[in-house]
Amino acid sequence: MLELQAVAQRQGAVVPKSPWLPTGCQALADLAGRVLGLDVRRVPVRAGTSTLVGGIHNREVLLANRGFQAQSLRHASGPVLTIGGDCGVETVPLGFARKRFGPALGVLWFDAHGDLNTPATSPSGAYHGMALRHAFGEGDRDFVLDTPVVSRRVVLAGARTLDPGEQAMVDRGLVRHVPIERGYDTSWVLDAVIASRAPQFYLHIDLDVLDPSEFADVTCPVPGGLLISELVDAIRAVAAIRPIIGAGITECATDDPDRLAVLAPILRAVGAALHAHSTTLPAQPASSLPYPVRQ
């Protein structure tokens, strides 16, 4: 059965709009619950901040939040839709999906940014820009997954602002980067999904993949993004050819119900994709965590 979890974390984003993430998360999760007919499980998170350590702002708080999130996910029997919060909430669900489905797991990452930095390459020290790279097993030893996602199975869709270290990864072909192709059908995403040879996918949506003219209430808006209808079409097209086994939607920075209402078609598309395979998931490995436990 599909589960809906809200992780109202803001400490992974170090930008002026980050204080809006907790209330934005809760409001978006409530909307998702109404649209999909689900109860919302609210994962506890710390409210404060901590110092910059090892190139990561709020490192201590983020590690504590990771523990709360892992406890919430480890007993999930079906697919989980995670509502953030900042993109840093995605590393743990990716880890559980990787444990469950093995190295063939694919990741479809809709985001205006790459989220491919490490503490050594990040210009900001904000973990939300490192979430995907740590899923590859690269970066801070306390955040990386011990069974990493395979980078060649990752499709980075809609990214239009990459830091130098992230661009280097794309240039070397370590991830599949598919820029938005305006005026085309969904083949711009489908071709990359098929080329990855992944049999199933985890779906990530940072709402900044949308054009600000469609939805501007995100922490780091970037012009030139997708229309809501284009994103919905892409989700449906991918779900028609590959199972979507988990998903996350992040970086909502408003709790205004009128502004949030435009996101309902995205929630319906994601919910339908997850429901389609909610009874066919393999069992979760017993009491396994997706990252090393340090003493």
The 10s digit of each residue's pLDDT in 31-61 is 999 999 999 999 999 999 999 999 999 999 9
Determine the Cα–Cα distance for residues 231 and 87; give it in Å rounded to an integer: 18
In contact, 235 and 203? CB cutoff 8 Å: yes
Pick from 67, 54, 70, 69: which is nearest to 6 by CA? Answer: 69
Greatest CA span in the chain, whole angstroms?
53
Could you give the C-alpha distances from 185 to 31, 182, 190, 240, in angstroms and in order?
29, 8, 9, 15
Higher pLDDT, 181 or 10: 10
Domain spans of the chain, in order of start: 3-275
Residue 281 pLDDT exceeds 80: no
User: Mean of the pLDDT values across residues 6-28?
Assistant: 98
Query: Which of these CATH numbers, 2.160.10.10, 3.40.50.1980, 3.40.50.720, 3.40.800.10, describes 3-275?
Result: 3.40.800.10
User: Mean of the pLDDT values across residues 64-89?
Assistant: 96
In contact, 56 and 258? CB cutoff 8 Å: no
Q: In the prediction, which pLDDT does 180 show?
A: 86
Angle between helices 187-196 and 228-241 (to 10 degrees): 40
